[in-house]
């Protein structure tokens, strides 16, 4: 699809008209600045248009400012489907179900750990397994794994990995209702069983960060953030379990789409009616994977706290934990009426205007690329009315991994981090170029767009001090 077909509706809103492609049921809306427009791929525009053809889609097929081409749905895509007339699609969630971000805040300040940042980074690297195919130290029985799928972070807290207060500061309290381990294949369980409590690889990371700037003091105070305070950010998901669940159901749904006579412009959009048994099975399995991911981040948080206790005789409080690859059953106001919809957020974060745990808008965590800033924001009423309560999830890739490896070296990237006094630890130096800032859009611009659009508001900026790359 050509850039020329986009119609500008506002400073940051570009429409893919409903007649731009065959069978589009709604227009597409791509949220971008002119600066970010140069990174927009034709393939991503086409995917926004393709999603708009799916049955029961509400209002718009959306793309956040960090949009780039994905599997079927674009990454940075948001689409809501009517529960009776719409569909559920694993491609609209992603392979890493409940890939998400968690932020812990410590009682330490930058000057207390600056001289020991290498030591802290190394100790955390040794405490938390990371890398391709990494395994966690937990040895779960089949029953315990099923309990993880069913109970999520609550299971972890009950086992002693954290405290009940953590659950209040998790999206969905760290556990999505409706999970059913019986809908998870034996192979997904086999893959997930040894991996609980591990970071994974690729763009998964643990970062030691410092609150560099506060934009909204009232919200920062409520979230417990002060300038120069040391935080720990975790980015990880459901590991092999989630990947296999998505794989299983994509394969199943490719056949089922034909059974239900759903015409697909791209088979990667395989989907089934939301009120079908297949959809219910997928949702139950997806919820199980989501719960695994929350458990994973909860267990890793326990080890982070353990290290902080050992090294600095202190602990860390959970600020929040958000998912950015998930489908949720939510009620939204659409055309003046309240409607129940399945909101698919793939590389997009929930940004609600209310959060029970803080009594104000929901915290939103947006990690930047390696070596750049990350942001804490909060949700808004505007997000509720324009993006189904959603915002971006990160910086968004602009270079393929292949292109990044071709144009950058691990030595160059790590030297760049060292010049900024950022410690780095990883098992795989060869993959470091893939996560370099040059491989991503400028995070400050992405945040600027979502703030100016009013779909999330900046609370604080965090800058990295130490990076553990998975």
Output the smallest distance, CB 68 to other proteins, in A: 4
Residue 320 or 440: the one with the smaller Cβ distance to other proteins is 440
> Distance between CA 300 and CA 88 in Å, rounded?
31
CA-CA distances (angstroms) from residue 270 to 50, 127, 246, 325, 382?
A: 12, 40, 11, 17, 31
Chain CA centroid to CA 212, Å: 23
Output the smallest distance, CB 7 to other proteins, in A: 24
SS (H, E, C) 219-247: HHHHHCCCCCEEEEEEEECCHHHHHHHHH
Among 112, 306, 427, 444, the residue binding other proteins under the rule CB under 8 A is: 427
Among 1, 62, 64, 75, the residue binding other proteins under the rule CB under 8 A is: 75
Output the smallest distance, CB 191 to other proteins, in A: 6
Q: 428: helix, coil or strand?
A: coil
Among 400, 418, 421, 452, the residue binding other proteins under the rule CB under 8 A is: 400
Q: Which stretch binds other proteins (CB under 8 A): 67-75, 152-160, 356-364, 379-387?
A: 67-75
204 binds other proteins (CB under 8 A): no
402 binds other proteins (CB under 8 A): yes
- The closest alpha carbon to 61, from 323, 348, 447, 379, belongs to 348
In sequence order, what are the beta bridge partners of 14?
8, 30
What is the residue whose two structure tokens read 């077909």?
A: 5
The dihedral built from the CA positions of residue 165, 170, 173 and 175, taken in this order, carries a sign that is negative
For this structure, is 204 an active site residue?
A: no
Q: Which stretch binds other proteins (CB under 8 A): 10-18, 134-142, 145-153, 208-216?
A: 134-142
Are 321 and 100 in contact by the 8 Å Cβ rule? The answer is yes
The dihedral built from the CA positions of residue 407, 413, 415 and 417, taken in this order, carries a sign that is positive
Among 133, 165, 259, 277, the residue binding other proteins under the rule CB under 8 A is: 133
Chain CA centroid to CA 173, Å: 16
Output the smallest distance, CB 249 to other proteins, in A: 14
User: Annotated catalytic residue: which of 204, 324, 344, 393?
Assistant: 393
Residue 307 or 460: the one with the smaller Cβ distance to other proteins is 307
68 binds other proteins (CB under 8 A): yes
Q: Which residues, numbered 156-195, are part of the site for other proteins (CB under 8 A)?
A: 187, 190-191, 194
Among 132, 314, 354, 412, the residue binding other proteins under the rule CB under 8 A is: 132
What is the residue whose two structure tokens read 């609370």?
A: 459
Output the smallest distance, CB 318 to other proteins, in A: 24
Output the smallest distance, CB 347 to other proteins, in A: 9
> Distance between CA 105 and CA 459 in Å, rounded?
14
Q: What angle do CA 61, 71, 453 make, to 5 degrees?
A: 35
258 binds other proteins (CB under 8 A): no
Among 247, 357, 372, 448, the residue binding other proteins under the rule CB under 8 A is: 247
259 binds other proteins (CB under 8 A): no
Q: 350: helix, coil or strand?
A: strand
Residue 73 or 342: the one with the smaller Cβ distance to other proteins is 73
Output the smallest distance, CB 118 to other proteins, in A: 22
35 binds other proteins (CB under 8 A): no
425 binds other proteins (CB under 8 A): no
Residue 20 or 199: the one with the smaller Cβ distance to other proteins is 199
> Distance between CA 388 and CA 353 in Å, rounded?
11
**Long-range contacts: 400-404, Cβ < 8 Å, 24+?**
401/431, 401/434, 401/439, 403/439, 404/433, 404/434, 404/435, 404/436, 404/438, 404/439
Output the smallest distance, CB 436 to other proteins, in A: 14
Are 382 and 54 in contact by the 8 Å Cβ rule? The answer is no
Among 48, 140, 343, 399, the residue binding other proteins under the rule CB under 8 A is: 399
Give how many residues touch other proteins by CB under 8 A: 32
Among 116, 135, 311, 382, the residue binding other proteins under the rule CB under 8 A is: 135
Q: Which stretch binds other proteins (CB under 8 A): 69-77, 157-165, 174-182, 323-331?
A: 69-77
Residue 131 or 224: the one with the smaller Cβ distance to other proteins is 131
CA-CA distances (angstroms) from residue 130 to 56, 60, 135, 200, 244?
A: 40, 38, 8, 5, 19
As annotated, the active-site residues are: 393
Q: Under the rule (CB under 8 A), what is the footprint of other proteins?
A: 41, 68-71, 75, 129-137, 187, 190-191, 194, 198, 240, 247, 251, 397-403, 427, 430
């Amino acid at each position: 699809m050509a850039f020329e077909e986009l119609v500008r509706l506002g400073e940051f809103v570009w429409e893919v008209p409903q007649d731009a492609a065959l069978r589009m049921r709604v227009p597409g809306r791509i949220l971008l600045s002119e600066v970010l427009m140069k990174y927009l791929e034709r393939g991503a525009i086409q995917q926004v248009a393709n999603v708009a053809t799916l049955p029961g889609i509400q209002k718009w097929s959306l793309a956040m400012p960090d949009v780039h081409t994905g599997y079927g749905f674009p990454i940075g895509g948001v689409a809501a489907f009517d529960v009776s007339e719409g569909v559920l699609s694993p491609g609209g969630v992603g392979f890493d179900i409940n890939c998400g971000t968690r932020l812990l805040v410590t009682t330490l300040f930058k000057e207390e750990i600056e001289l020991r940042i290498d030591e802290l980074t190394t100790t955390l690297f040794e405490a938390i397994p990371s890398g391709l195919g990494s395994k966690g130290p937990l040895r779960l029985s089949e029953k315990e794994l099923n309990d993880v799928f069913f109970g999520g972070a609550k299971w972890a807290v009950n086992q002693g990995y954290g405290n009940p207060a953590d659950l209040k500061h998790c999206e969905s309290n760290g556990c999505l209702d409706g999970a059913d381990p019986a809908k998870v294949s034996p192979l997904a369980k086999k893959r997930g069983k040894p991996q609980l409590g591990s970071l994974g690889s690729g763009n998964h990371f643990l970062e030691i960060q410092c609150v560099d700037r506060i934009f909204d003091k009232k919200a920062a105070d409520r979230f417990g953030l002060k300038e120069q305070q040391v935080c720990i950010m975790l980015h990880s998901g459901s590991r092999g379990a989630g990947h296999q669940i998505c794989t299983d159901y994509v394969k199943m749904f490719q056949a089922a789409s034909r059974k239900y006579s759903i015409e697909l412009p791209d088979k990667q959009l395989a989907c089934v009616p939301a009120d079908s048994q297949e959809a219910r099975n997928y949702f139950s399995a997806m919820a199980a994977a989501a719960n695994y991911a929350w458990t994973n981040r909860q267990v890793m948080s326990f080890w982070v706290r353990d290290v902080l206790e050992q090294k600095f005789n202190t602990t860390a409080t959970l600020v929040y934990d958000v998912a950015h690859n998930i489908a949720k059953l939510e009620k939204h106001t659409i055309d003046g009426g309240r409607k129940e919809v399945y909101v698919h957020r793939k590389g997009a974060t929930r940004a609600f205007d209310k959060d029970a745990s803080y009594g104000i808008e929901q915290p939103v965590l947006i990690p930047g690329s390696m070596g750049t800033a990350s942001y804490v924001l909060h949700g808004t009423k505007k997000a509720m009315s324009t993006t189904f309560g959603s915002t971006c999830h990160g910086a968004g890739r602009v270079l393929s991994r292949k292109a990044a490896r071709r144009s950058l070296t691990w030595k160059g990237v790590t030297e760049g981090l060292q010049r900024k006094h950022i410690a780095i630890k990883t098992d795989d130096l060869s993959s470091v170029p893939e996560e370099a800032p040059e491989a991503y859009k400028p995070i400050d611009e992405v945040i600027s767009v979502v703030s100016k659009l009013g779909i999330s508001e900046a609370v604080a900026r965090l800058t990295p001090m130490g990076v553990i790359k998975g």
